[in-house]
Amino acid sequence: MPLPVLELRYDVGVPVYRQICDAVLLALARGDLRRDEQLPTIHELARQLDVNPNTVARAYQELERGGHVVAERGRGTFAAGATRPPKMRREGLLRTIVERALGECSRHGLDEQDLFEYLRRKTS
């Protein structure tokens, strides 16, 4: 099942379930996880990561609430179809994403210029 190798970091202050969510969102954004592809089962991923299955279940529930995955009883959890949000909603989402990224940068001693330079290099 196409999730990138996920190394949990316990020293960054980000809950494990949130790290799992972020990994799935990144896989979706990069196209590593395509629409209707199945994610690992809760127990498979919990075993791989050596975490409590409830942690993975919480991550999957968050992703489902956000519309990123769909859980089908008895079948598994699948990447949801991507729908582009309306322009007003996109602005709000982008603002939230940038604010979160800047907060993470600040926590690690980086500033917005570091982030912008990195993004410029990655998109060139």
Interval 88-103: pLDDT, tens: 777 888 888 889 899 9
- Which pLDDT value is given to residue 29? 82
Kindly report whether the global pTM for this prediction surpasses the value 0.85. Answer: no
Q: Where are the domains of the chain?
A: 16-79, 87-123
Fold of 16-79: Arc Repressor Mutant, subunit A (1.10.10)
Q: Alpha helices of the chain — where are they, by DSSP H?
A: 16-30, 42-49, 53-65, 87-107, 112-123
Tokens read off for 60: 């999957």
Q: pLDDT under 70 in the chain at which residues?
A: 1-5, 82-87
- Which pLDDT value is given to residue 41? 94
- Which pLDDT value is given to residue 32? 86
- Beta carbons of 34 and 62 less than 8 angstroms apart: no
Fill in the DSSP letter of residue 34.
Answer: -
- Which pLDDT value is given to residue 2? 57
- Which pLDDT value is given to residue 86? 67
